[in-house]
């Protein structure tokens, strides 16, 4: 009722706020925790999708991904993706997103896929630009589809990675190299993602 009347910030002195901790509170460093965390996210989106997509109390021109309330810039992004020659340390890998082509009217882009190690499971995928690591992504997301492809490797069902970059982080153009760190400390180059925003050049 208060939102319908146009109120946005309301002080109510007698209100008591209860904070119920998430079961997955803490570092999601195992496949089991990652799966539980994904289930919690799915349930939250199912219940609150109408507010997440269009929060009446949040400025639509500000970012929803970063914590600094920076501007949310929407533009078209040209995408190209390529894989490096397969390293003997890995069985197989894939960059599932982004897809090659043009992503239209977006404010952020996801980079995700999976990698199966031959003798050592993946731990982290690094996003590297001009020799500098700009983001580190855990590589233990639940991927039952990959587990079915490689049933001979038990760790294969927890080999996914998923990260997100805002347009402001890579505009107007960026070449991102993906490199996985395996549990034994090995570094393996996976592929390259090229992003370009023609309207911001």
Mean pLDDT, the chain, rounded, equals 87
**For a pLDDT cut of 90, what percent of the chain falls above it?**
53
Q: Residue 188: count other Cβ atoms within 10 Å of its Cβ.
A: 22
Q: What is the pLDDT of residue 134?
A: 94
pLDDT at 95: 98
The H or E element that residue 105 is part of is: strand 101-106
Tokens of 198: 């023609």
Token pair, residue 127, equals: 């996003």
149 or 12, which is more confident: 149
Residue 172 buriedness (CB in 10 A; 0-12 / 13-18 / 19+)? middle
Cα distance between residue 166 and residue 177, in whole Å: 17
**pLDDT recorded at residue 40:** 81
- pLDDT value at position 136? 93
Give the whole-angstrom CA distance, residue 126 versus residue 104: 26
Q: Mind listing the pLDDT tens digit for each residue in 45-91? A: 888 888 877 787 788 888 876 777 778 888 899 999 999 999 999 99
pLDDT value of position 60: 80
The pLDDT value given to residue 54: 79
Query: Residue 104 pLDDT more than 80?
Result: yes
Q: How many residues does the chain have?
A: 201
- Residue that has been written with the tokens 């999601």 in this structure: 28
Q: How far apart are CA 186 and CA 194, in angstroms?
A: 25
pLDDT in tens, 11-53: 788 888 777 766 656 666 666 776 777 778 778 888 888 887 7
Q: What is the pLDDT of residues 121-132, one digit of tens each?
A: 999 999 999 999
Which pLDDT does position 15 carry in this prediction? 82
Using CA atoms, how far apart are residues 81 and 191, in angstroms rounded to an integer? 7
High-pLDDT (> 70) share of the chain, %: 92
Q: What is the mean pLDDT of residues 154-181?
A: 92
Give the CA-trace dihedral at 125, 138, 143, 93, to 10 degrees. 10
User: What Rg value do the Cα atoms of the chain yield, rounded?
Assistant: 20
Domains and CATH numbers, the chain: 1-58 (no CATH), 75-200 (2.60.40)
């Amino acid at each position: 009722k208060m939102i319908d009347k146009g109120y946005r910030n309301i002080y109510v002195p007698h209100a008591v706020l209860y904070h119920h901790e998430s079961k997955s509170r803490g570092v999601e460093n195992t496949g089991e925790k990652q799966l539980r965390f994904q289930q919690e996210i799915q349930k939250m989106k199912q219940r609150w999708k109408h507010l997440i997509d269009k929060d009446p109390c949040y400025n639509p021109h500000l970012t929803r991904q970063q914590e600094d309330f920076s501007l949310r810039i929407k533009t078209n992004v040209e995408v190209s993706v390529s894989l490096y020659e397969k390293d003997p340390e890995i069985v197989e890998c894939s960059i599932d997103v982004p897809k090659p082509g043009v992503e239209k009217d977006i404010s952020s882009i996801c980079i995700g896929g999976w990698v199966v190690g031959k003798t050592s499971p993946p731990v982290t995928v690094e996003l590297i630009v001009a020799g500098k690591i700009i983001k580190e992504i855990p590589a233990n997301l639940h991927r039952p589809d990959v587990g079915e492809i490689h049933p001979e490797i038990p760790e294969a069902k927890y080999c996914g990675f998923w990260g997100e970059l805002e347009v402001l982080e890579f505009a107007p153009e960026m070449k991102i190299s993906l490199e996985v760190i395996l549990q034994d400390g090995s570094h393996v180059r996976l592929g390259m993602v090229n992003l370009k925003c023609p309207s911001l050049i």
